[in-house]
């Protein structure tokens, strides 16, 4: 059995128990110091593969004919190699400026996996512990009854703080300071006991960036560049509003109107960089996925990857959100990552969305195969492409998960044309044990 399988098995058994225990960097200068990286393969490789790349490409071209799509970039890693990458559509709808695999998009909540990995790396080096009280490393976070002295960094990264879902996101979006908001969370009533439920957070999750800064004595963005982006050759990656606008070629976000129009890039989620501050191209995201698969062990070790992918808390609310994909089951949350059973295989991934930009990643760590996608509209129509690709990987019968063949009189899907931040809330599930309650109040977090 591979080392990662043994590590994950042990961690999964241990960590499903409830008690399991910035400022902008000189990004232009850092980018100039990036090591030479061989150009990724962007064409399907010759030889044996279960992925029908021509069919997948044809499906994505049909997707882009939908009027609410603007631009899209998709990449595939197969057997550890970037085997395919494409850009579709435009950076600004109607502009003629075409999306390429190097076009920079916002990653939204895919940022959380970066934070989880950085914290786990520091833990592996003995600079902090995942079971340290969060108060030791992120003093801005305050919880009712002084629970910040019992809540751990692991609880922060797995959304097990007991706070109401998306606590103070509205105030963050209104321009309030993230650290001051965390300090005022002591006034919020808890929805469950500490570590007993999952409720998705952004403001509280960003305590992770504060912890990284205190443990290293350096800005979060600098640590991310030096420990991850630079050694992985993620040349387009950045963590600020200013860096997005400095990018040579970036996709403007669009709203969800009948004809999508560009919308302003706000600074809200750049002010919680661990939760939603990442920018990068789909090739950067593919390289990031390779690292999570074990292709760059000198950067992200097998032990670190096993730690961040080990499930900490069941999330039955995610099962309801993903119910149109029956092969995805047993959803759980790890450290900045979601984990699923996919027709008997374990897969790791995440979705993300900020205003006018959406993102996804889904991969099988054992097969070292997966897919990433970024697009610049507030429309969830592209969700499903990851399932069409992974069905090919597993040899499952082909299905129209993108709903491109749905008769016009029938809705494409209950979620397909609704912006992620406007999806209706769902009632909380019945408790199914101390680690099985999910109190998320939104049908899909998006961020």
pTM score over 0.95: no
What is the pLDDT, as a whole number, of residue 293?
98
Summarize pLDDT for 205-232 with one digit per residue, the tens.
Answer: 999 999 999 999 999 999 999 999 999 9
pLDDT bucket at 48, cuts 50 / 70 / 90? confident
378: tokens are 């507030």
173: tokens are 């979006």
Q: Please, what are the domains in the chain?
A: 3-438 (3.40.710.10)
Does residue 92 register a pLDDT over 60?
yes
Rounded-to-10 torsion of CA 327, 333, 349, 231: -160
Closest CA to 347 of 415, 393, 280: 393
Summarize pLDDT for 244-296 with one digit per residue, the tens.
Answer: 999 999 999 999 888 899 999 999 999 999 999 999 999 999 999 999 999 99
What is the pLDDT, as a whole number, of residue 81?
97
130: tokens are 């995942």
What share of the chain has pLDDT > 70, as a percent?
80
What is the pLDDT, as a whole number, of residue 41?
38
User: How many CB atoms are located within 10 Å of the residue 303 CB?
Assistant: 15
Summarize pLDDT for 121-179 with one digit per residue, the tens.
Answer: 999 999 999 999 999 999 999 999 999 999 999 999 999 999 999 999 999 999 999 99
> Strand, helix or coil at 417?
coil
What is the pLDDT, as a whole number, of residue 257?
84
Average the pLDDT over 331-338 and give the result.
Answer: 98
Q: What is the DSSP letter of 227?
A: I
- CB under 8 Å to 288, separation ≥6 — which residues? 113, 114, 228, 232, 234, 237, 280, 361
Rounded-to-10 torsion of CA 28, 33, 39, 42: -40
Does residue 439 register a pLDDT over 50?
no
Q: Are strands 197-198 and 437-438 parallel, antiparallel or unpaired?
A: parallel
What is the pLDDT, as a whole number, of residue 107?
98
What is the pLDDT, as a whole number, of residue 319?
84
């Amino acid at each position: 059995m591979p080392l990662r399988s043994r590590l994950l098995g042990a961690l999964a058994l241990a960590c499903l128990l409830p008690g399991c225990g910035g400022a902008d960097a000189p990004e232009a200068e850092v980018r100039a110091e990036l090591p030479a990286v061989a150009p990724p393969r962007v064409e399907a490789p010759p030889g044996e593969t279960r992925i029908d790349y021509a069919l997948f490409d044809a499906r994505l071209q049909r997707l882009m004919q939908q009027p609410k799509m603007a631009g899209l970039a998709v990449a595939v890693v197969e057997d550890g190699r970037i085997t395919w990458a494409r850009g579709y559509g435009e950076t600004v709808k109607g502009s003629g400026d075409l999306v390429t695999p190097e076009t920079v998009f916002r990653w939204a909540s895919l940022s959380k996996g970066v934070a989880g990995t950085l914290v786990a790396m520091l833990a592996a080096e003995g600079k902090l512990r995942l079971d340290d009280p969060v108060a030791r490393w992120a003093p801005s976070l305050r919880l009712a009854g002084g629970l910040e002295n019992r809540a751990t960094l692991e609880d922060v990264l797995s959304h097990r703080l007991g706070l109401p879902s998306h606590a103070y996101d509205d105030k963050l979006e209104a321009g309030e300071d993230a650290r001051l908001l965390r300090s005022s969370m002591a006034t919020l009533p808890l929805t469950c006991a500490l570590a007993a439920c999952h409720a998705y957070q952004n403001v509280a999750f960003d305590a992770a960036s504060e912890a990284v800064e205190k443990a290293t004595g350096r800005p979060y963005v600098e640590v991310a560049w030096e420990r991850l982006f630079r050694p992985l050759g993620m040349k387009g990656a950045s963590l600020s509003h200013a860096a997005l606008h400095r990018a040579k070629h970036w996709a403007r976000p669009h709203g969800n109107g009948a004809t999508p129009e560009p919308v302003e890039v706000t600074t809200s989620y750049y002010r919680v960089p661990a939760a939603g501050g990442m920018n990068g191209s789909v090739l950067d995201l593919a390289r990031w996925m390779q690292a999570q698969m074990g292709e760059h062990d000198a950067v992200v070790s097998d032990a670190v990857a096993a730690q961040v992918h080990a499930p900490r808390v069941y999330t039955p609310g995610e099962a309801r959100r993903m119910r149109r994909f029956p092969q995805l089951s047993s959803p759980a949350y790890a450290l900045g990552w979601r984990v699923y059973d996919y027709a008997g295989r374990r897969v790791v991934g995440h979705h993300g969305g900020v205003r006018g930009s959406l993102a996804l990643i889904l991969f099988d760590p054992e097969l070292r195969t997966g897919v990433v996608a970024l697009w610049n509209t507030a429309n969830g129509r592209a969700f499903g492409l990851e399932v069409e690709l992974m069905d090919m990987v597993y040899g499952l019968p082909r299905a129209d998960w993108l709903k491109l063949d749905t008769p016009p009189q029938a809705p494409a899907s209950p979620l397909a044309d609704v912006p992620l931040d406007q999806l209706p809330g769902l009632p909380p599930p019945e408790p199914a044990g101390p680690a099985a309650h999910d109190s998320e109040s939104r049908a899909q977090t998006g961020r």
